[in-house]
Structure 1
Amino acid sequence: MRNWQILILLVLCNLFWAGNYVFGKYVISEITPLWITFSRWVLALFFLFPIAYYFEKMEWKSIKEEWLLLTSMGVLGIIGYNLLLYSALAYTTATNAALVSALNPGIIVLVSVFLTGERVSRLQAAGFFLSLTGVLIILTNGELARLLQANYNQGDLLMLAAVLIWTAYSLISKKIQTPPITATAVSSAIAVLLMAPFAVSQGINFAAIKPLALGGILYIILFPSVCSFVFWNLSVKAIGTSKCGVFLNLIPVFTAIISVILGERITLAQVLGGLSVFIGVYLTTGMLDRLLIKQEKVTEN
């Protein structure tokens, strides 16, 4: 695969994920978080399993050996994260949710360091505190004095909880040997089975759902759930996770652009907070450290 093809796949991948925040904001007004999550993944399974068979030749032996880890992934990444995400969108803007979620890579790095005992550089520590400051700016809408009032937007706090859930999911996903698309398909199937009784009990009136919400659900099923994941995995296979990870910062950018086009106003606090998060994540994930080491090697040679 050529570099320009990988670039297109990564841009589209993150554009579709950004759309999940924007369309999710519209859908949540018509459909409950449980039914958004349930319908999203039950229909995505019809795409994920054939794709997994085609690209990864699913091996049931490894799936049986890792059923507990795959179940944990389903509970955390499919059920927990999505329920919190769509619940958050009922109270906060799509842009705020995406900006808070941008803290994810830095949190994952720090938790991984804590669990493995690996040392953190000063730049990484500074990056974490900078990104955390950015999130606090977003949570308080630029009024940091509100931290003492304990009066925050409920949606932003739910999104922060979603970030922590996704961190746990990401750490588990690193441990499994099952190929990524297969793991997503199987963990999604487990999650759907677990959600089914609750979804049936809650019920839904499809006739009352407006066309815009139905279109949003179809978008969420086809693009963020299927296309983005396949594009992401093809790109990771071609150039590696660390290089692809840089492109995740496009999600809040795309979310903000789409939201502005649809009429949402971007505040100065969101801009400043978002920049702090981006720079902080850049430092925390060690990208600057690797660039400095690379520069030192070039100088030595």
Structure 2
Amino acid sequence: MKASLYLVLATLFWSGNFVVGQAAVASMTPLDLTFWRWSLAAVPLLLLARFIEKPDWRAVLRRWPVLLLLSLLGMSGYTLLLYGALGYTSAMNASLITAANPALIVVMAIVLLGEKTTRLGWLGICIGLLGVLLVLTRGELQRVFSLAINTGELLMIGAVAVWGCYTIIARRLDVPVIAATAVQVVIATVTLAPFALALNVQFPDTPAEGWSLAYIAVFPSLAAYLFWNLALRTTPPGTAGNYLNLMVVFTAVITVALGTPLTLMQIVGGLMVIAGVLLTGVKGQATLKVA
């Protein structure tokens, strides 16, 4: 039950990142957002790890190779690709490509981890994906075939692949969750620092940019990664990945809150996404296992 709540909260905060990030890239570069995002989240994460988990830091740092890899994938790579994509492609195309993530994670888990799933698990993924398509195409599924692939969409495809790898590797990491996340964030800050200096990364100089960065640093950076990694301790990657479809639903809700009305297709598609997530989430732990 806790794992499901963690996954829902993580996807909620990441949905806000799509909306806020889309606005932020109009005046800030992907490197600006990525570097300051992790720089601001590093110290709070280290303090949380110190006072909540009290980890053996020497033992944690002995896993530096895999932590370095996870940082390059999930903290630096995925984030740079995401913000880069939002500067070129529409929210519709970016969300549509993101919807392929759950299926990709399941396939990667089967190939790389030897996990097995049932027809019921695949049914949940298909229902969720169909719901996403209904939301994004407003019920006109043929629109999927008319989408042109541009630079932004190619970047999103790369982001999806990178996140799939991050989820698979993080599932097997035997390091306290908060400590692992904190070290990954510190590594991202350190490895990005030379590029930030060379490219003269700018700190936000307007209130709007400041509030955008504050949200990105606290919720999708600090809270969402913690919740995601906590959930992966007890949730198979395929099951966790299916929750990413909720991002479309949450994005729709945020859009409505900002004044855009919700259509019938968005409601129907959203219900299908939730049904698919519940089907995979409730049954997935019983049917998805390591061979």
- TM-score category by the smaller chain? 0.7 to 0.9
Q: Which residue of 2 aligns with 1:63?
A: 60
Choose the corresponding residue for 1:174, options 171, 175, 194: 171
Instruction: State the match for 2:48 in structure 1.
Output: 51
Go from structure 1 to structure 2 and tell me whether the alpha carbon gap of 1:205 and 1:37 turns closer, same or farther (over 3 Å shift).
closer
Distance 1:254 1:89 in 2: 18
Compared with structure 1, are the counterparts of its residues 117 and 6 closer, same or farther at alpha carbon in structure 2 (3 Å cutoff)? closer
Partner residue in 2 for 1:223:
219
2:210: which partner in 1?
A: 214
Letter in 2 for 1:52: A
User: Is the partner of 1:241 in helix, strand or coil?
Assistant: coil
Give the Cα–Cα distance (whole angstroms) in 2 for the partners of residues 219 and 42 of structure 1: 14
Residue pair 1:95, 1:259 contacting (<8 A) in 2 also: no
- Where 2:109 maps in the other structure, the secondary structure is helix
Once the 2 structures are TM-superposed, how far is the Cα of residue 48 of structure 1 from its aligned partner?
Answer: 0.7
3-state SS of 1:151 partner = coil
The CA distance in 1 between the partners of 2:31 and 2:155, in whole Å, is: 15
1:241 aligns with 2:235: yes
Given that residues 102 and 277 in structure 1 are in contact (C-alpha distance below 8 angstroms), is that contact kept between their aligned partners in structure 2? no
Counterpart amino acid of 2:26? Answer: S
- AA aligned to 1:257 is V
Q: Is structure 2 residue 115 aligned with structure 1 residue 121?
A: no
Question: What residue number does 1:112 align with?
Answer: 109
Match of 1:262 in 2: 258
In the alignment, which residue of structure 2 is the partner of 1:38?
Answer: 35
Work out whether residues 128 and 277 of structure 2, in 8 Å CA contact, stay in contact via their aligned partners in 1. yes
The amino acid of 2:14's aligned partner reads W
Pair 1:46–1:59, CA change in 2 (3 A): same
The structure-2 alpha-carbon separation of the partners of 1:205 and 1:170, relative to structure 1 and needing over 3 Å to count, comes to: closer
Between the aligned residues of both structures, percent identity stands at 42
Q: Which moved more, 1:84-93 or 1:162-171?
A: 84-93
Instruction: Quote the Cα distance in structure 2 between the aligned partners of 1:172 and 1:137.
Output: 32
Gaps of 5+ in 2: none
> What is the distance in 2 between the residues matched to 1:263 and 1:100?
25
CA offset at residue 59 of structure 1? 1.8
Question: 1:268-283 to 2 correspondence within 5 Å?
Answer: none
Asked whether 1:17 is paired with 2:11, we answer: no
List per-residue Cα deviations over 1:123-161 (Å, max 9, x = no partner). 334555555666677887876667767723544443332
1:41: Cα distance to partner?
A: 0.1
| Pairwise CA RMSD | 3.9
